Amino acid sequence: MEDPTKVLTNHVRVLMTSVAKGLNKLFRGKLKPSHITTLSLVGHIPAAWALWTCRPLLAAGLIAFFGLLDALDGALAREQGTASKLGMFYDAVTDRLKEIIIYSGLAVYTAKHVNNVDPWLVVAVAGTSILVSYVKAKGEMAVSANSHDKQALNRAFSNGLSRYEVRMVVLIAGLIFTDFLGPILRLMVALNLFTAAGRFLEIARILNVEDQKERTKTTKKHAQD
């Protein structure tokens, strides 16, 4: 059975591809993917402010809107044929910054206005979310010597339920249904740990195979010497 989160992601990508084509024509190619990425990052600041001022529904709407821009920058890069390693690096770094901004606002919101969320929980969500992305990044780095396809490398080790866009959708649900925010955040921690573990095992398996190949080559070389 196909992963439902990937099905939803693919539908969003198709939509953003159409939007990207329209914007590229409208701005005659002057609108760059980096502009969209930066706008998405800056847009998460008022979302955090909405949480600070106890407006979870407004925050949810802002996160949803500016989160969609995260798919638009990649679609625009493909439309313009400008996909690059630098662009993927910038996109990944800004995604982490956006999470830090949002979780900082969430920490203030839960501390001041929510009684069913323990203080450690937001920290755990933030930490395990970063862990999911960190495992992916280190895995990409470890296997990058054998991969020259930047797009394929960027999609590597993206398995698991708790991808960035899924984390944001789950968080938005928690901000809409605030009575369930505590259980939803606990679910996010569990999904993050499960996803990080799954990616770790996948990367470890691949690296173990590569290590065995290297050891075999070294043994054969020594035997020949």
**Active site (catalytic) residues:** 95
Structure tokens at 201: 């095992």
Query: Distance between CA 171 and CA 106 in Å, rounded?
Result: 10
- Other beta carbons less than 10 A from residue 26's beta carbon: 10
- What's the CA angle centered on 132, arms 128 and 84, to 5 degrees? 140
Q: Which DSSP category does 72 fall into?
A: H
DSSP string across 84-115:
-HHHHHHHHHHHHHHHHHHHHHHHHHHHHH-S
The amino acid at 153: L
Beta strands of 89-184 (E only): which ranges? none
- CA gap 224, 189 in Å, rounded: 52
